[in-house]
Amino acid sequence: MFNNARCQVISRISIICLLFILFSTVAALGFYGLNESTLSIIKDTFLPASTQESKTEPVESVRPDQPRYCLSEKIADLPPNDIALFDMFTVQERKAQGLPTALLEVDPFYGDKVAYLTFDDGPNKDNTPLVLEILRKNKIKATFFVLGTQVENNAELVKEIYQDGHAIGNHTYSHVYRELYQSPDIYIQQLYHNDELIKKILGVRPRISRAPGGSAGNFTKAYWPRLKSEGYIEVGWNVSSGDASAGKANDIRDNVISQLEANKALWSHAIILMHDGSGHGETVKALPAIIQYLKEQGFTFRVVNAQTPPAW
């Protein structure tokens, strides 16, 4: 009996204390006003952590000195000069909202000595950070054709590529030939999937794409009009580093130099294929020497966008 009476007394005292705190808070609001600081105190006092609104970190924007161009509702024009191209909408979103998907025709840019450094199959936690650091030291922008399977596991690297002002291209989701090249529909669906992954990270998605293994021997005639109507810019290459083989850094460097020396017609738009995916540490080692050669020959460096000429 005594215990029950004591419990009732304690309960009443607890209620009185809570009412005192509540009325004190209301009085404070009347005196100080309802501001962000006061709301924060109330939330921290009365709401458990599990019920408080979680904060989602926004995608960091590209640094002011690293321009890029994002297409909006209308495709009225395309980026000038050497700027990476992105889209605020996926193809499915454009179609659902009745927005245009196909890009405007633009004249390709042919310079005197122009190099496009492109990297496929990443991002990779071992190689991509090293490639990015080399590019920073040389103040060069490049183009990264990323795989969906790698994008899923390396979101921070995708952000880093974007924030450094490089171009990003869609290299499909899986890179598995027997799946990709069954039909244009299946190929496009893989591009869609990768676009969605990239947009989830960046808030935008790329407009350029590159077929794994290249379009030659993989695309039928039916692929090209479909890609054009969907608004994708398919990008090949005309200089292969040969780093898909077991070559060492010196071999990779020599492959690039020998092809450029043998065909100086390519110097107006040298699109150099390299890889930053798993197992391509030798490419990282070769990259400084490749850049040094290109600089010594007077090349400028551009990212792939709508103005990049066809490889051949």
Catalytic residue positions, numbered: 120, 275
**For residue 5, which amino acid is it?**
A
Are 124 and 150 within 8 A, CB to CB? yes
Cα angle: 145, vertex 151, 164; to 5 degrees: 60
Whole-angstrom Cα distance, residue 309 to residue 311?
6
Q: 103 Cβ partners below 8 Å, 6+ apart?
A: 75, 78, 207, 231, 233, 306
Q: Where are the beta strands (DSSP E) in 76-113?
A: 84-87
Cα angle: 127, vertex 146, 113; to 5 degrees: 80
Whole-angstrom Cα distance, residue 165 to residue 163?
5
